[in-house]
Chains A and B, each alone.
Chain A
């Protein structure tokens, strides 16, 4: 059961360039999406979210894009910094009141100096 997919297990990007992390989902009932970042030996850290009524949300260097018709979202990090090197998880929620988020398997981002 892979309702949330992150098909790239890893990604390497040069410092200063754009990092694009992708996430696809299968359940059209998902209405709210989040991105988390996780460093080794730490818990996930919330980065940015987007509601299904929007197609873009921006917070500093992080922008999330949502394409509902394609059931696809992406996280853009511009410019990428070495401290961004971490595992990034996409997560999706089914309904307005649920707290059960379905996580993707994660993408390991390496930003090279």
Chain B
């Protein structure tokens, strides 16, 4: 069964450093998403991406964040200058259709980001 993959599984970085979290969505999917879950808190939507542009983003997704689909398979989340509060599990997801009434998302296993 096709699945969403994410690398690395755990990323440790120093505050102020840039990080890039990588995701390979399911190959025939068209919509891509990033979510995060701070330890002990709820899952939070960050951004959705379609047709090579951001279609929706939350207030969390500020200028420090960017997303890119650099080729036909990868979908990346970049944090330009990490802060301690960026420490979280970051989940990538993809869906074959717009997450409308019938669509479902397939989540990756997550990347745990630890900012020291």
| Residues in chain A within 8 A of chain B (CB atoms) | 4, 32, 34, 36, 41-46, 49, 51, 89, 91, 93, 96-106
Given A97-B98, A99-B33, A99-B55, A43:B107 Cβ within 8 A? yes
User: Is B88 at the interface (CB under 8 A from chain A)?
Assistant: no
The complex places the Cα of A41 from the Cα of B91 at a distance, in Å, of 11
The reply to whether B107 and A99 contact each other, CB–CB distance below 8 Å, is no
CB distance from B35 to the nearest CB of A (A): 8
The complex places the Cα of A79 from the Cα of B48 at a distance, in Å, of 36
The reply to whether A42 and B42 contact each other, CB–CB distance below 8 Å, is no
| Residues in chain B within 8 A of chain A (CB atoms) | 4, 31, 33, 41-45, 48, 55-56, 58, 91-93, 98-101, 104-110
Given A89-B43, A105-B41, A106-B42, A43:B100 Cβ within 8 A? no
The reply to whether A49 and B104 contact each other, CB–CB distance below 8 Å, is yes
Given A99-B55, A105-B41, A44:B107 Cβ within 8 A? yes
- What 18 new A-B contacts, CB under 8 Å, besides A4-B42, A44-B43? A36-B43, A36-B107, A41-B109, A42-B110, A45-B107, A51-B101, A91-B43, A96-B100, A99-B45, A99-B48, A99-B55, A99-B99, A100-B56, A100-B58, A101-B45, A102-B45, A104-B42, A106-B42
